[in-house]
Amino acid sequence: MSTLTPAGSPQFPTIADKVSTHEEMDQAIHALQEHKDTWVATTLQQRVSLLTELIQNIAALAPRWVEACSQAKHLSPQLTGEEWSMGPWPILRNLRLLRQSLLDIEAFGRPRIPGPVTTRDNGQVVAQVFPTNNYDRIFFTNMTAEIWMEPGVSAETLPQTQALIYQEGQAQQSGMVALVLGAGNVSSIAPTDVLYKLLVENQVVLLKMNPVNAYLGPLIEESFQPLVKRGFLRVTYGGAEEGSYLCDHPGIEEIHVTGSDKTFDAIVFGPGSEGARRKAEKQPLRTKRVTGELGNVSPVIVVPGPWSEADLRYQAEHIFSMLTTNAGFNCNATRVIITHKGWGQREALLNKLRELMAAQPARQAYYPGAQQRMQGFVEAHPQAERFGATDNGNLPWTLIADVDPTAENDICFTTEAFCSLFAETALEADGVVDYIQKAVNFANEDLWGTLNVTLLAHPKSLKDPAVSTAVEQAIADLRYGTVSLNYWAGTSFTLGSTTWGAYPGHTIDDIQSGVGVVHNTYMFSHPQKSVVRAPFKSTPTPPWFATRGQVLTKTFPLLADFEAQPSPWKVPSIVLAALGR
């Protein structure tokens, strides 16, 4: 069964318990306007000192930060590591990498790229940005990540595309005030968005907290106090009405939003029928620059191969864990598993997924509107398989298997579920190579969004030159901001050295997953996509896998402490924790 539905991310309810008055917002913008030029004039050494203070503050506040998120999401004690992995750890890593980039700029004129810079046969430049050091090599064994640049950048001109605001002759002479509309699901999103605006785009920031996690606002103000007291950051609160007031404010010069494409459209064109008319006519209501990360129907492309029983069990948990993290309230969560109809182990993989879904406790549906979104998918697909209790605000893990790939307007393909649900679709193909090509075309043309995609390919499959060539071509052809081989593409969000955002080229009247990037701590101005590569089975098993909650909870506080103050003496305890010892 299929249903016609507006494509994209959900429009989330925006009822706010804590609201800033117009006077408070005016005062915040006035303070930022008064200090925006001071920020531009702030030296590299002063910025390094500020980042050092922020690292110390975040590290000190981290336990309170995690506790606040865990209480709001009703997490059991063994799942609190999830909040460490999505909150303090990536923030601290981002801060450390940015600080190192500033030190590099002072010493060498630009951030030093940690890996080789190569040129593909088509002339496209590739910079390896992970691992960033030997510690990454220990903690993320055999994982690499690259940033592929847009056409027109050469290996010779690549340095000129880095850290533009710090280059002599290109430095910004006057400051700007940016509005960051924070996301409500992952606690590191708003802080790292703020850091990107400040350190990479040279803009002071007014952060409006999302109503869902407004409880974090005071902690952000406290931990970012070095920026707040100097007039470089202000935090405000409210829902859609306050957001609209800020977007229209003459003191706001740029806008960045993490959330829904519907919110982006309302910002650019205005709400309701008048906004729809403006969008159809490509006549924006607001002409300020707006960037954003706006969600995705995230695919996992399963390349057929000779998978053992252990392989099936590992990859089923891998795929399922891409959904269970944060209870499915992630823009990078698995939404559509793409398989080959003729693969003999397809049903075995699905059965392993069903076993995991039945064994994993249901999670609290803390994000507004989740029940209604889930109901819309289940009404369109009554055959949906649901696992787990639905009482006390929980939502079951839900699988919609064997969705017809020719149903172009199916809700599973056009709409981001943003809850504990994913689907599977099987493509007819004449062999593995033909399947890979069809899977790439399906992901590019039939699934909404361009944020991230994951491919899974067995090493024995990659020994076949034809299959290996097809997989490499798939990586090149997939029009996504992050393409990952054998590791959840969502990991790119946390690495910091990679970019995070949509594939470039979306227009304001068809924005899909958004425009612009964040993180990108090597400060490239013309990135096209990030490409992550890892072994088919990582050793040790990643701590974020669904059945390793206690390992996650032991490992990520140690990793956060390490990012705050790296030391070789801390490595053994981290490795032992990741091994479950």
The Cβ of residue 107 has, within 10 Å, a number of other Cβ atoms equal to 10
- What's the pLDDT score for residue 1? 32
Q: What are phi and psi of 255, to 5 degrees?
A: -135, 140
Evaluate whether 467 touches 435 at the Cβ level (below 8 Å). Answer: no
Helices (H), 73-87: 80-86
CA-CA-CA-CA torsion sign (343, 346, 349, 351): negative
Count the residues in the chain.
581
Question: Residue 64 and residue 282: Cα distance in Å, rounded?
Answer: 46
Instruction: Report residue 12 as tokens.
Output: 């989330």
The Cβ of residue 226 has, within 10 Å, a number of other Cβ atoms equal to 17
What 8-state DSSP symbol labels residue 570? G
Task: Report the chain's mean pLDDT, rounded to a whole number.
Answer: 95
- What's the pLDDT score for residue 2? 35
- Poorest-pLDDT segment among 14-28, 194-208, 417-431: 14-28
Give the tens place of pLDDT for each residue, 252-265: 999 999 999 999 99
Question: Residue 108 and residue 503: Cα distance in Å, rounded?
Answer: 30
Percent of the chain whose predicted confidence (pLDDT) is above 70: 97
Which of the two residues, 12 and 404, has the higher pLDDT score? 404
Question: Residue 361 and residue 370: Cα distance in Å, rounded?
Answer: 17
The domains of the chain are located at 22-111+162-293, 298-503+525-533
Measure CA of the first residue to CA of the last residue in the chain; give whole Å.
Answer: 48
- What's the pLDDT score for residue 6? 61
Q: What is the mean pLDDT of residues 360-366?
A: 94
The string of DSSP letters for 449-483 reads: --SEEEEE--HHHHTSHHHHHHHHHHHHH---SEE
Angle at 234 between CA 232 and CA 235, to 5 degrees: 150
What 8-state DSSP symbol labels residue 524? B
Evaluate whether 9 touches 333 at the Cβ level (below 8 Å). Answer: no
> Which CATH number is 22-111+162-293 given?
3.40.605.10
Q: Does 9 score more than 90 pLDDT?
A: no
Give the tens place of pLDDT for each residue, 432-443: 999 999 999 999
Question: Residue 525 and residue 257: Cα distance in Å, rounded?
Answer: 19
Strand partners for 279: none
Confidence of residue 8 (pLDDT cuts 50, 70, 90): confident
Question: Residue 55 and residue 95: Cα distance in Å, rounded?
Answer: 7
The Cβ of residue 486 has, within 10 Å, a number of other Cβ atoms equal to 23
Q: What is the mean pLDDT of residues 305-325?
A: 98
Q: Prior bond to 361 cis, omega within 30?
A: no
Confidence of residue 483 (pLDDT cuts 50, 70, 90): very high
Q: What is the mean pLDDT of residues 458-470?
A: 98
44 sits in which H/E element: helix 44-72
The string of DSSP letters for 108-168 reads: HSSPPPSS-EEE-TTS-EEEEEE--SHHHHHHSTT-EEEEEEPTT--TTTGGGGB-GGGST
The Cβ of residue 134 has, within 10 Å, a number of other Cβ atoms equal to 10
Q: What is the mean pLDDT of residues 516-523?
A: 98
Give the tens place of pLDDT for each residue, 257-296: 999 999 999 999 999 999 999 999 999 998 999 999 999 9
Q: What is the mean pLDDT of residues 300-311?
A: 97
Q: What is the mean pLDDT of residues 308-314?
A: 98
Place of tokens 């053992």: 308
Q: Annotate 383-403 with three-state secondary structure.
A: CCEEECCCCCCEECEEEECCC
Confidence of residue 15 (pLDDT cuts 50, 70, 90): low
Q: Which of 142, 143, 144, 149 is nearest to 120 (CA)?
A: 149
The reply to whether 298-503+525-533 shares the fold of 22-111+162-293 is: no
Q: Which of 225, 296, 230, 294 is nearest to 266 (CA)?
A: 294
pTM of the model: 0.96
Q: Which of 185, 136, 159 is nearest to 495 (CA)?
A: 136
Question: Residue 374 and residue 396: Cα distance in Å, rounded?
Answer: 9
Mention the CATH class of domain 298-503+525-533. alpha beta
- What's the pLDDT score for residue 384? 97
Instruction: Report residue 234 as tokens.
Output: 């202000």
Evaluate whether 180 touches 256 at the Cβ level (below 8 Å). Answer: yes
- What's the pLDDT score for residue 171? 57
Evaluate whether 8 touches 447 at the Cβ level (below 8 Å). Answer: no
Which of the two residues, 228 and 167, has the higher pLDDT score? 228
Residues 6+ apart with CB under 8 A from 470: 432, 433, 436, 437
- What's the pLDDT score for residue 17? 81
Confidence of residue 174 (pLDDT cuts 50, 70, 90): confident
Question: Residue 415 and residue 335: Cα distance in Å, rounded?
Answer: 9
CA-CA-CA-CA torsion sign (29, 30, 36, 42): negative
Evaluate whether 485 touches 514 at the Cβ level (below 8 Å). Answer: no
Q: Does 228 score more than 90 pLDDT?
A: yes
Evaluate whether 415 touches 297 at the Cβ level (below 8 Å). Answer: yes
The Cβ of residue 248 has, within 10 Å, a number of other Cβ atoms equal to 12
Question: Residue 385 and residue 41: Cα distance in Å, rounded?
Answer: 58
The Cβ of residue 28 has, within 10 Å, a number of other Cβ atoms equal to 23
Q: Does 192 score more than 60 pLDDT?
A: yes
- What's the pLDDT score for residue 4? 40
The string of DSSP letters for 162-198 reads: B-GGGSTTT--SS--EEEEE--SS-TTHHHHHHHHHH
Amino acid found at 527 = P
Give the tens place of pLDDT for each residue, 88-118: 999 999 999 999 999 999 999 999 999 999 9
Evaluate whether 188 touches 91 at the Cβ level (below 8 Å). Answer: yes
Percent of the chain whose predicted confidence (pLDDT) is above 90: 93
